[in-house]
């Protein structure tokens, strides 16, 4: 009963349907983004969900290459689906920062902002006169983060990078996948999305420092190094044993049992027990309570020994093959071990639990229409995360932002347009312009 009461209370304080009645944690923070693809743009997207105002600056015309990244070249209402994941909540500006007047506009934005995020090649911003060296002079409170493959100095300085390179050079690909297959590249842009995420930790830590001291700072960030930090026991293991960490498929060689096995009804089911108690529960569920007392399996350190682990995992695999996922799921709840079928986009879309929690998020966008996407990860009781709009075509918010935030006169804006300092989308390649069925006015902010 006490637990029922707890869940009622938890839902009452976290209820996502009340999101827009509550304030935002980063409502006072403005971010200027000069980024392409994912590593850079994902960071302000995350912080925008927590309330930051983001000015995404692209080059007029083509804009961010990310506007092309979509599975099998299928666009959703004219938008690349990869781009939708990071376009949310941003103001989309197109300024040619490579020319002086464009760089001046960029600086005006930075003057009024708290954070700059860029992921260009090391030194590019400096060369354009809008790097940290110049920007800290006009705004000493600025927190500036530069994200890329290998950093701003060091032996790999000249090397360009991508997500897949960070995955392979860090060793992450090598330790993932099955021994009889090639090292595995994750099916997602792991080093990018996870890189932007941990990059955001640095920005917020810098903000905590600035909240106390008023001082901004510069953050240099390599996505390959970030993945190395996430490779748990790899470095200690290699340090102590001199052996290379290899790849071991779906079993976890450091937690036993933990594996992904087929069920009777053809699902792939992750099954795991991280404590003795969870393991005892699993043994009971399998109808083999004696296993938990067997000296080969009674303690975690015994279970982790290779021959014991192999035997135990084989037993579990055999048991699962005779049960449906529904049965395994029910037993896992009753006996308190971990079990979850491998879920895909369809499962997430249909999952009432994830919808309720705003992970599967419904967006009703004035330009791109209504749809569902991966939404909010952390739920905050006082300042819940949210998606306000899906994204905008290239340069869509130029006039509004230049007027509202920079106070430019209409004439000046017109002049900038005529001189191609600011601009809008091109029709080709796709993903830049508004969707075909756009009515020519929805979503436009009056300026």
Partner 1 sequence: MHMEKEKSWGDWIRELDDPAKNREKPEALDHITVLDVSYANMAGCFCTSTLAEFGANVIRIEPPDGDPARTFSPWGYMHMGTGLGYLNEGRNKHHVTLNLESEEGQEIFRKLARRADVVVETFLPGTMDAWGIGYRQLKELNPRLIYCALYTYGQFGPKAACGKADVDVVDQAYSGVVSVSGEPPEDPQNPKPSEVPTKQGNWMGWYAGGAWASVAILAALHYRVGSGKGQFIDVSPAEAYGRCINYGITYYYGFKDTIPRVGNYDVGVFPYTYFKCKDGFAFLSGFADPNWKALCTIINRPDLQQQFPTIFERLNVDNMKVMYKEIEKWTTAHTYDEIFDAVMDYNKNIGQGVVVPGRISSPMDTMKAENWWVRMALETIDDPHYGEVTIANHAHKMTETPPRVKWICRPVGADNYYVYARMLGYGPKRLEELKEKGII
Kindly identify the residues of this chain, within the stretch 151-190, that bind partner 1 according to CB under 8 A: 151-162, 164-165, 168-190
Kindly identify the residues of this chain, within the stretch 265-284, that bind partner 1 according to CB under 8 A: 268-276, 278
The CB-of-21 to partner 1 minimum distance in angstroms stands at: 15
Q: Does 297 bind partner 1 (CB under 8 A)?
A: no
- Residue 288 vs 348, nearer CB to partner 1: 348
CA distance 193 to 187: 12
Catalytic site residue from 64, 192, 259, 397: 192
- Residue 354 vs 406, nearer CB to partner 1: 354
CA distance 65 to 34: 12
Kindly identify the residues of this chain, within the stretch 409-438, that bind partner 1 according to CB under 8 A: 429
The residue count for binding partner 1 (CB under 8 A) is: 193
Q: Does 26 bind partner 1 (CB under 8 A)?
A: yes
Q: Does 364 bind partner 1 (CB under 8 A)?
A: no
- Residue 20 vs 235, nearer CB to partner 1: 235
* Contact status, residue 291 vs residue 283, Cβ threshold 8 Å: yes
Active site residue 351: no
**Three-state SS letters, 226-274:** HHHHCCCCHHHHHHHHCCCCCCCCCCCCCCCCEEEEECCCCCEEEEECC
Q: Does 298 bind partner 1 (CB under 8 A)?
A: no
Q: Does 46 bind partner 1 (CB under 8 A)?
A: yes
Window contacting partner 1 (CB under 8 A); options: 42-50, 98-106, 287-295, 400-408: 42-50
Residues 6+ positions from 266 with CB-CB distance below 8 Å: none
Candidates 61, 294, 324, 359: give the one binding partner 1 (CB under 8 A).
359
Window contacting partner 1 (CB under 8 A); options: 104-112, 370-378, 410-418, 419-427: 370-378
CA distance 396 to 171: 41
CA distance 368 to 66: 16
Kindly identify the residues of this chain, within the stretch 216-255, that bind partner 1 according to CB under 8 A: 216-226, 228-241, 244-250, 252-255
At residue 163, φ and ψ (nearest 5 deg) are -45, -50
CA distance 409 to 22: 34
- Residue 176 vs 398, nearer CB to partner 1: 176
Kindly identify the residues of this chain, within the stretch 70-129, that bind partner 1 according to CB under 8 A: 70-74, 76-77, 80-82, 84-85, 122-123, 126-127
Q: The sheet that has 258-262: what strands, in order across it? A: 258-262, 268-272, 338-341
**Is the preceding peptide bond at 257 cis, omega within 30 degrees of 0?**
yes
CA distance 46 to 390: 13
CA distance 240 to 130: 46
- Residue 187 vs 440, nearer CB to partner 1: 187
The CB-of-406 to partner 1 minimum distance in angstroms stands at: 25
Q: Does 14 bind partner 1 (CB under 8 A)?
A: yes
Q: Does 345 bind partner 1 (CB under 8 A)?
A: yes
The CB-of-323 to partner 1 minimum distance in angstroms stands at: 15
Kindly identify the residues of this chain, within the stretch 375-414, that bind partner 1 according to CB under 8 A: 375, 377-383
Q: Does 19 bind partner 1 (CB under 8 A)?
A: no
Q: Does 133 bind partner 1 (CB under 8 A)?
A: yes
* Contact status, residue 432 vs residue 394, Cβ threshold 8 Å: yes
The CB-of-380 to partner 1 minimum distance in angstroms stands at: 5
The CB-of-67 to partner 1 minimum distance in angstroms stands at: 10
Rounded (5°) CA angle 205-209-211: 110
Q: Dihedral (C-alpha) 69, 73, 77, 83: value to the nearest 10 degrees?
A: -10
CA distance 309 to 279: 13
Window contacting partner 1 (CB under 8 A); options: 93-101, 104-112, 210-218, 432-440: 210-218
Residue showing tokens 């994941």? 85
Window contacting partner 1 (CB under 8 A); options: 98-106, 290-298, 356-364, 408-416: 356-364
Its sign, for the CA torsion 297, 328, 8, 345, is positive
Window contacting partner 1 (CB under 8 A); options: 97-105, 294-302, 395-403, 432-440: 294-302
CA distance 355 to 349: 8
Looking at the annotation, which residues are catalytic? 192
């Amino acid at each position: 009963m006490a637990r029922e009461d707890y869940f009622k209370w938890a839902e009452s304080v976290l209820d996502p349907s009340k999101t827009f009645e509550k304030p935002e944690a980063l409502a006072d923070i403005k971010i200027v983004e000069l980024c392409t693809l994912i590593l850079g743009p994902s960071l302000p997207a995350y912080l925008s969900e927590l309330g930051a105002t983001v000015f995404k600056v692209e080059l007029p015309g083509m804009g961010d290459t990310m506007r092309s990244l979509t599975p099998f070249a299928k666009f959703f209402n004219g938008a690349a689906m990869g781009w939708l994941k990071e376009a949310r909540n941003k103001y989309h500006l197109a300024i040619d920062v490579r020319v002086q007047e464009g760089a001046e506009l960029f600086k005006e934005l930075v003057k009024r902002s708290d954070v700059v995020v860029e992921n260009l090649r090391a030194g590019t911003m400096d060369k354009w006169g809008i790097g940290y060296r110049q920007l800290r002079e006009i705004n000493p409170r600025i927190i500036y983060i530069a994200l890329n493959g290998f950093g701003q100095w060091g032996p790999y300085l000249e090397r360009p990078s991508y997500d897949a390179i960070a995955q392979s050079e860090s060793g992450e690909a090598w330790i993932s996948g099955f021994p009889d297959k090639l090292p595995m590249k994750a099916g997602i842009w792991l080093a990018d999305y996870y890189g932007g995420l941990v990059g955001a930790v640095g920005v917020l830590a810098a903000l905590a420092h600035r909240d106390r001291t008023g001082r901004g700072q510069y953050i240099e960030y390599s996505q390959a190094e970030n993945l190395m930090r996430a490779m748990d026991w790899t470095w200690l293991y290699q340090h102590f044993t001199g052996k290379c960490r290899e790849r071991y498929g779906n079993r976890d060689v450091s937690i036993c049992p933990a594996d992904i096995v087929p069920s009777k009804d053809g699902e792939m089911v992750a099954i795991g027990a991280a404590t003795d108690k969870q393991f005892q529960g699993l043994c009971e569920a399998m109808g083999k309570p004696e296993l938990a007392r067997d000296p080969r399996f009674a303690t975690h350190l015994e279970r982790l020994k290779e021959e014991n682990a192999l035997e135990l995992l084989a037993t579990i695999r055999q048991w699962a093959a005779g049960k449906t996922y529904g049965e395994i799921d029910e037993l896992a709840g009753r006996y308190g071990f971990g079990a979850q079928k491998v879920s895909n986009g369809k499962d997430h879309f249909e999952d009432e639990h994830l919808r309720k929690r705003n992970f599967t998020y419904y967006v009703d966008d004035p330009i791109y229409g209504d749809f569902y996407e991966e939404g909010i990860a952390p739920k905050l009781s006082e300042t819940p995360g949210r998606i306000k709009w899906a994204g905008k075509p290239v340069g869509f918010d130029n006039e509004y932002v230049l007027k509202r935030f920079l106070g430019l006169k209409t004439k000046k804006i017109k002049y900038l347009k005529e001189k191609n300092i600011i601009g809008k989308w091109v029709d080709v390649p796709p993903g830049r312009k508004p969707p075909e069925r756009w009515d020519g006015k929805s979503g436009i902010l009056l300026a």
